[in-house]
Amino acid sequence: RMGFWPGEKRSPRSSAYETPEGFIEVTRENQDTPISEHFRLRDFLTKDQSDVWPKYLVLREELVDKLELIIDELGTRGIKVRRMVVMSGFRTPQYNQQGVGRRGGRAKDSRHQFGDAADVFVDNNGDGRMDDLNRDGRVNAKDAQIIIDAASRVEARHPSLLGGAGRYKATRAHGPFAHIDVRGTRARWGTGG
């Protein structure tokens, strides 16, 4: 089940919110296909309907490029990244709608539905949580800010990858993470700048 994109029910507010032109079919057999050095197709799949195959994915190449450049940028700052986890990549409109509003915190027109956003964290030790990137002995939103700062430096060098970045604190359900997207305009939230 995919649901309806915002542009299918009303006029999109801009071309960035138009219904996607196509999908990548992901099967059990091809889900581990590498799409870059650090990412596989499965990393960006919607998190619901786990037993439904095939699945369909919208994924903009620019997002993958930006994430790889962020990993490289972190490396230049002495933060070796072996594993960046995509906590949430593409979301079908049907899945996104389940979390819209105060309860789920998702935006009605979330960039995740358009294949150009990912919520990520660095997890080199494989414990399922953000690593202590700033080496202050604590894992918190300040570690997500390290990823956002790297994204800002990447955008300065690659204006075609301009987009949003949001810093999220840990909750009972998840650790801290950073939202990264390539919407085409600069947006920041939860970062103080």
Tell me the pLDDT tens digit for each residue of 137-165. 999 999 999 999 999 999 999 999 999 99
| Spatial CA neighbour of 145 closest among 101, 82, 79 | 79
Percent of the chain with pLDDT over 70: 94
| Mean pLDDT of all residues in 74-84 | 97
Q: Which two tokens stand for residue 43?
A: 């990393």
Beta strands 164-168 and 187-189 are parallel
Q: Is the peptide bond before 12 cis (omega within 30 degrees of 0)?
A: no
Interatomic CA distance for residues 193 and 189, integer angstroms: 7
pLDDT at residue number 193: 46
| Mean pLDDT of all residues in 178-183 | 97
pLDDT at residue number 15: 81
Interatomic CA distance for residues 182 and 193, integer angstroms: 18
Structural contact between residues 139 and 122, judged by C-beta atoms closer than 8 angstroms = no
Beta strands 187-189 and 24-26 are unpaired
Q: Is the pLDDT of residue 192 over 80?
A: no
pLDDT at residue number 101: 59
Q: Is the pLDDT of residue 126 over 80?
A: yes
Q: Is the pLDDT of residue 39 over 90?
A: yes
Q: pLDDT-derived band of residue 7, with 50, 70 and 90 as boundaries?
A: confident
Structural contact between residues 6 and 109, judged by C-beta atoms closer than 8 angstroms = yes
What pTM did the predictor assign? 0.92
| Spatial CA neighbour of 69 closest among 147, 179, 173 | 147
